[in-house]
Amino acid sequence: MISTRKQLFRYLSVILLLTVSLINIATAADNSSIPRTADGNPDFGGIWQAIGSANFDIEPHAADFGPIVENGAIGAIPAGLGIVVGGEIPYTAAARAQQQANKENWLENDPVVKCYMPGIPRANYMPFPFQIIQSPDHVVVAYEFASASRIVYMSQPDFEAPIFSWMGHSRGHFEGDTLVIDVADQVPDTWFDHAGNHHTDALRVTERYTHMGPNVLMYEATLVDPNVYTESWTVRFPLYRRLDENMQLLEYKCVEFTEELIYGHLRKGANSD
């Protein structure tokens, strides 16, 4: 019996070693397929887009009625597995209550409905593509939604933001083949989704972009805000390269789409029967 167990253990050990070797070989193959810039760093340039329903709710959620029932099935909210690692945002009790209140009136209060810039990380999982343009000193990220953009200052850890802004202040560096971006100084007005998930101006976001192959990135963002969360938490999801022929960012300057919503009550005769 003892001999049989030893043989089984040796067999399992060999299987484990072979598995580890295969993983290492696969990893090396993946590393060799990563596009690189002239200075040897991974090249993240291209047009990318997330797939899923995180823009409705980053936590797991069932399909639900939309805010305008007359839109029927095309205006309903699709179900989603969520992108929060562990499933649930670790809110304080008061912050969770605020999120629920936000959700009740999201069509009226969600800033992106009024064409405000979405902030980070939301800009990366909205249903619009975005483009990364990379140089040794800067990474520029241009978003189709609202023509939002941001500049990532590479290897400038002491460069502080002059003011708070909707897209925050981004400073980046490489950790091996991962692009790491620290985002701070975002205004407290942005939401993470239509479900009213929120933060304060104390939010710090650490983004990580890692190639999973030439046309797929794994995106991960860790969020810290002691004003509303009991601990740090993370979102994670893949980004896919848009391979469409002649792919480019198109215009989605949404201000004109919101004018009636925001200012319609000011039109002459708007309140008359």
| Tens-digit pLDDT profile for residues 166-210 | 999 999 999 999 999 999 999 999 999 999 999 999 999 999 999
Residues 28-51: pLDDT tens digits? 335 778 999 999 999 999 999 999
Q: Which of 4-13, 29-38, 209-218 has the lowest mean pLDDT?
A: 4-13
pLDDT of residue 140: 98
User: Given a cut of 60, is residue 13 above it in pLDDT?
Assistant: no
The chain-wide mean pLDDT, for the chain, equals: 90
The domain limits of the chain are 1-33, 46-261
Q: Residue written as tokens 């002649």?
A: 246
Encoding tokens for residue 11? 């067999």
pLDDT of residue 272: 63
Which among 269, 233, 265 has a CA at the least distance from the CA of 92?
Answer: 233
Q: Going by DSSP bridges, is the β-strand pair 169-175/149-154 parallel, antiparallel, or unpaired?
A: parallel
Would you state the torsion angle of the CA atoms of residues 153, 154, 159, 160, taken in this order, to the nearest 10 degrees?
A: 50
The residues, any chain, with a CB within 8 Å of residue 100's CB and separated by 6 or more, are 196
pLDDT of residue 266: 81
Instruction: Read off the pLDDT band of 5 (50, 70, 90).
Output: very low
Please give the angle made by the CA atoms of 245, 240 and 199, to the nearest 5 degrees: 130
d(C-alpha 95, C-alpha 264), whole Å: 32
d(C-alpha 170, C-alpha 167), whole Å: 9
Task: Report pTM.
Answer: 0.86
